[in-house]
Amino acid sequence: MAKIIIIGAGGVGNVVSHKCAKLAEIFTDIVLASRTLSKCEAIAKDVLSKTGVTIRTAAIDADDVAATTKFLKAESPQILINVALPYQDLSLMDACLSAGVNYLDTANYEPLEEAKFEYKWQWAYQDRFKDAGLTALLGSGFDPGVTNVFCAYAQKHLFDQIETIDILDANAGDHGHHFATNFNPEINIREITAKGRYWEKGLWKEVEPMSVHQVYDFPVVGKQDAYLLYHEEMESLCKNIPGLKRIRFWMTFSQKYLSHLKVLENVGMTSIDPINFKGQKIQPIEFLKAVLPDPASLGPRTRGKTCIGCDITGTKSGKKKRILIYNSCDHQECYQEVSSQAISYTTGVPAMIGAQMILRGLWRNSGVWNMEQYDPDPFMEELMKHGLPWQVTELPLA
């Protein structure tokens, strides 16, 4: 049915490659391109041994718009799945526009020199994608991604009026290292050392990093320490869920993780301000990334489960109500299936499903879209089929 190009041969790129290869009736021709060709080749080899499908590989620098445009024109895919880093979003959107290719990513644009992520840069492409008759689907991972779709589903089927949303992300897995991040360390640490923010009654409120905490009793993984963070899906959800009064995002961290992070911060290792080291300019966080375990190496050793969901309150038929809609994933089961831990898995599967929605014409409006702007039903159906089953439970009103 369609040719696709996946950009980025990291943890998430690995999962997207495996999952697309398993759906040969939709993804008939797959090319995996990234900065380091050997990483693409290693993934292609694993995909071949697990699925019998051959995917082609290529080296590409996604920051180079001209080279990427040329590559896309030569390959002429229907869609580009961007699972490189958030720094590449705009250059890949530019290349897609020049080559006439639909676009999908899992994280919003972030400038390299500033730890700040916002949709405004990508939303500014709305008219260009519309005029070109192309679709750009933003944030088709788990959070953002599935969490947005959970909210759209709750809006469509479970509530007449949603009032509050708390997005909760728990990773109760253990990889046995003193300190490691489950996805790209640089992106992860930039995200959690930034100030926390949430949205209430039309205003953004800022709090010191990791200063707001609650113990949340999750299904499957039980009570966990959850900290309020800023997360990008709030920026679109507060616009797209009418009548919303408050939205917050929480992520769980162990005390061990937080102690290591505090020390690294205190000694300046998480800084993005360049320093001179032996005549070379480096960002301390880049160096830290180089010494930390590669997230892709955590797969075989991570045990335990994740649980990510949306705790939503509102009214239905005049009555107040509160629900949790969630998925739980087992790290080892993911590893057995696609040689990857659950964090990359929960991101890669929705990227594959989002691409499928576009290719099947179900989510195919021209322009730039966030996930909750489309009908959630076909996406929710595919989650059930491809390893991310979800459940809804009623909770007592707080």
Burial of 202 (0-12, 13-18, 19+ CB in 10 A): exposed
Least Cβ distance, residue 90 to ligand NDP (angstroms):
12
Out of 19, 47, 53, 86, the only residue in the binding site for ligand NDP (CB under 6 A) is: 86
Closer CB to ligand NDP, residue 159 or residue 231?
Answer: 231
Binding-site member from 125, 142, 227, 345 for ligand NDP (CB under 6 A): 142
Residue 183 sits in the site that holds ligand NDP (CB under 6 A):
yes
Q: 77-97: string of b/e by CB count within 10 Å (b at 16+)?
A: bbbbbbbbbbbbbbbbbbbbb
- Minimal distance in Å, beta carbon 138 to ligand NDP? 10
Q: How far is CA 232 from the centre of its chain?
A: 10
Q: Considering only residues 315 through 334, tell me which ones interact with ligand NDP, judged by CB under 6 A.
A: none
Structure tokens at 49: 């041994």
Q: Which is nearer to ligand NDP, 137 or 313 (CB)?
A: 137
Counting Cα atoms < 13 Å in the Cβ hemisphere of 170 gives: 28
Instruction: Kindly state the smallest distance separating residue 349's Cβ from ligand NDP, in Å.
Output: 10
Q: Is 9 in the site for ligand NDP (CB under 6 A)?
A: yes
- How would you label 298-318 residue by residue, b for 16+ Cβ within 10 Å and e otherwise? bbebbeebbbbbbbbbbeeee
User: Does the protein bind ligand NDP through residue 187 (CB under 6 A)?
Assistant: yes
Q: Answer yes or no whether residue 39 interacts with ligand NDP by CB under 6 A.
A: yes
Name every residue whose Cβ is closer than 8 Å to that of residue 31 and which is 6 or more positions away in sequence: 3, 4, 5, 6, 55, 56, 57, 58, 75, 77
For residue 355, state whether it binds ligand NDP (rule: CB under 6 A).
Answer: no
Measured distance CA(382)–CA(356) in Å, rounded: 9
Amino acid in the structure at residue 333: E
Q: Which residues pair with 330 in a beta bridge?
A: 305
Contact status: 226 vs ligand NDP (CB under 6 A): no
**Contact status: 61 vs ligand NDP (CB under 6 A):** yes
Regarding 23 and contact with ligand NDP (CB under 6 A), the answer is: no
35 is a site residue for ligand NDP (CB under 6 A)? yes
Decide: is 6 part of the binding site for ligand NDP (CB under 6 A).
no
- Which residue type sits at 108? N
Question: Helix 342-359 vs helix 331-338: angle between axes, to the nearest 10 degrees?
Answer: 60
**Is 13 one of the binding residues for ligand NDP (CB under 6 A)?**
yes
Q: CA-to-CA distance for 33 and 82, rounded, in angstroms?
A: 10
Site string for ligand NDP, 360-389 (x = CB under 6 A): ------------------------------
Query: CB of 10: closest distance to ligand NDP in angstroms?
Result: 2
Least Å from the CB of residue 87 to ligand NDP? 7
Q: Which is nearer to ligand NDP, 159 or 186 (CB)?
A: 186
Of 84, 325, 353, 357, which one interacts with ligand NDP (CB under 6 A)?
Answer: 84
Q: Measured from the CB atom, is 4 or 187 closer to ligand NDP? A: 187
DSSP structure class, residue 230:
-
Closest CA to 107 of 77, 144, 80: 144
Smallest CA-to-CA distance from 3 within 71, 51, 50, 88 is with: 71
Q: Which of 34, 193, 270, 306 binds ligand NDP (CB under 6 A)?
A: 34
- Smallest distance, ligand NDP to C-beta of residue 389, A: 17
- List, in sequence order, every beta strand (DSSP E) within 201-274: 203-207, 213-218, 222-229, 246-252
Q: How far is the CB of 17 from ligand NDP (least distance, A)?
A: 11
* Nearer to ligand NDP among residue 159 and residue 233 (C-beta): 233
Tell the smallest beta-carbon distance from residue 383 to ligand NDP (Å). 13
